[in-house]
Structure 1
Amino acid sequence: MSVSLLDVQVKRRGKAILGPINLDLGATGFTIVLGPNGAGKTTLLKVLHGVERVSGGTVHWSVSDTEARQAQAYVFQSPIMLRRSVRENLAYPLRLLKLDKADIAMRVTDWAQRIGLGDALDRPAPRLSGGERQKLALGRALIRNPKVLFLDEPCANLDGRSTREIEALLLDAHTAGTRIIMTTHDLGQARRLASDVVFMLNGGLHEQGPASDFFVAAQTAEAQAFLNGDIV
């Protein structure tokens, strides 16, 4: 499921937040969106996911808009937990799909084990640690087998162990066929995960290409400075 952005812009109170952007993303890959604070990374993800209204331009998926929305999932930097148990959080998206109870129970048990919360199914989700909540949010997104998964800084403020566990879940999902588009400030993480990179700057698409090329020889001075840790 590929997507194309043509002259997409987002304005708030007359101020340009994003664009105009022209961007093509193929149906497969693990795209990492990089850039300094305020570059427009989160806004780009929200535009792609259809939760940010564009002021101009078009977003075109290779399938109908309805099918595209149904095939996507989004994990926020600060996960939103239902005030219910781990079990109920995992079951919720499956109930929306009107799956039968036996199938839901089987999937919930399976995914609870995958995210390391198999022994915590009846614990209230809001009482989980930060890393556990993020893993639950990821499991809740992946349990629907989305074709495209958006993630906004999913490992921000997490310790090394939780980060490694989440990265393993993401790589497994990608291997299983999920198309991933993710923002991160962690360049080490970007190098570990990315198949390709979108580099944002001042609300615009500044550079795009394979991760192997970008991290070895970024094409622009601004991208090179960013990789060196300089302020851009």
Structure 2
Amino acid sequence: MSAGPQHEPLFELQAVDVRLGARAQVHALSGVSLRIAAGERVALVGANGSGKSSLLRCLHGLLPVASGRLQLAPDLRMAMLFQRPHMLRLSARNNVALGLWLDGVPWSAAKLQALEALERVGLAGLAQRNARALSGGQQQRLALARAWARRPGVWLLDEPTASLDPHAKREVEALITDFAEHSTGNQPSTLIFSSHNLGQVKRLASRVLYLEQGRLLADLPTADFFNHERLQAMCPQAHAFVKGETP
């Protein structure tokens, strides 16, 4: 059930398995095959433990492939954001500047670029505030600023608004949409995100992957995924999930 593009992909997985645990006894991903091209907006959906986070971490290189093949386009600039981003015991500005400095940007320039990034997400007025003292929504916007400052071409987002209040969710979602609409270098930005919010999936995604117990069961354009009759015929498990009938 593949909706993947036919031209050269940024990511190509062929029968990928990912295993977790001290003895690799947990199959986080089983036989996953897919292609993702530049400019796509791909949502990962499924129940807790379905493999969404594992797939994102595999794409980012944080989890090794146990078997199968993962091929990445050369010179990918990726940024990954987690549901609860880690904040250093530094000011908001220095949380951004440190990443730039580690990339080789001189400290004085890194601080200027960090302030630009904070302005981009509406946090310039909190530049000197300790990052750990910020609200959850502000921390997620700071994490977006930290990523945007490094100009990634691929955004990997793991439940980026799950723990936020409705107002903060709208703010973060608007930023994600804006970042995804702007190109980086010669290629359009690519968005790959997991979400339990099906309304968010409809708003942000052009393509939906449904995972269950580490297996990719459906890969469809968003319009087809939310067409109940078509989805029920193509993937009953995904249809049950959309209806809220998955345990």
Instruction: Give the TM-score normalised by structure 1.
Output: 0.93
Q: Secondary structure at the match of 2:226?
A: helix
Extract unaligned runs of 5+ from structure 1.
Answer: none
**Which amino acid is the alignment partner of residue 76 of structure 1?**
F
Q: Which residue of 2 aligns with 1:39?
A: 50
- Judge conservation of contact 2:205–2:222 (CA < 8 Å) in 1: yes
Counterpart of 1:205, as a letter, is L
Is 1:225 the counterpart of 2:240? The answer is: yes
After superposition, the C-alpha distances for 1:35-89 in whole angstroms (9 at most, x for unaligned) are 01110100011111001012111110121xxx33xx1111011110011000101
Q: Return 5+ residue gaps in structure 2 as ranges.
A: 1-8, 184-188
Give the Cα separation in 2 of the matches to 1:123 and 1:188: 33
Q: How many residue pairs align between the two structures?
A: 227
The residue identity in structure 1 corresponding to 2:194 is T
Does residue 24 in structure 1 map to residue 35 in structure 2?
A: yes
Opposite residue 23 of structure 1, the aligned amino acid is: L
Superposition pairs of residues 92-107 of structure 1, within 5 angstroms: 92-101=98-107, 103-107=109-113
Match of 1:200 in 2: 211
Q: Deviations over 1:109-145 (max 9, x none)?
A: 2221222211110000011111111111111111111
Q: Percent identity?
A: 37
Question: Within 1, Cα distance between the matches of 2:209 and 2:73?
Answer: 20
The residue aligned with 1:165 is: 171
* One-letter amino acid of the structure 1 residue matched with residue 242 of structure 2: L
Match of 1:37, SS state, is: coil
After TM superposition, give the deviation of residue 103 of structure 1 in Å. 3.9
1:132 and 2:147 aligned: no
Query: How big is the shift at 1:200?
Result: 0.5
Mapping 1:32-181, distance limit 5 Å: 32-63=43-74, 67-68=75-76, 71-101=77-107, 103-177=109-183, 178-181=189-192
Cα separation, 1, equivalents of 2:111 and 2:91: 14
Q: Aligned to 2:17, which of 3, 6, 9? A: 9
- Does residue 190 of structure 2 align to residue 184 of structure 1? no
Distance in 1 (CA, whole Å) between partners of 2:96 and 2:73 is: 29
| Superposition CA RMSD, Å | 1.4
- Letter of the aligned partner of 1:89 in structure 2? N
Q: What SS does the corresponding residue of 1:53 show, helix, strand or coil?
A: coil
Structure 2 residue identity aligned to 1:40 = G
Separation in 1, partners of 2:222, 2:149:
28
C-alpha displacement of 1:102: 5.3
- SS of the counterpart of 2:208? strand
Offset at residue 22 of structure 1 (A): 0.8
- Taking the aligned partners of 2:223 and 2:35, their CA distance within structure 1 comes to 19
Deviation at 1:181, TM superposition (A): 0.6
Q: Deviations over 1:136-178 (max 9, x none)?
A: 1111111111011111001012011111111111111111122
Mapped to 2, the partners of 1:149 and 1:93 lie a distance apart of 16
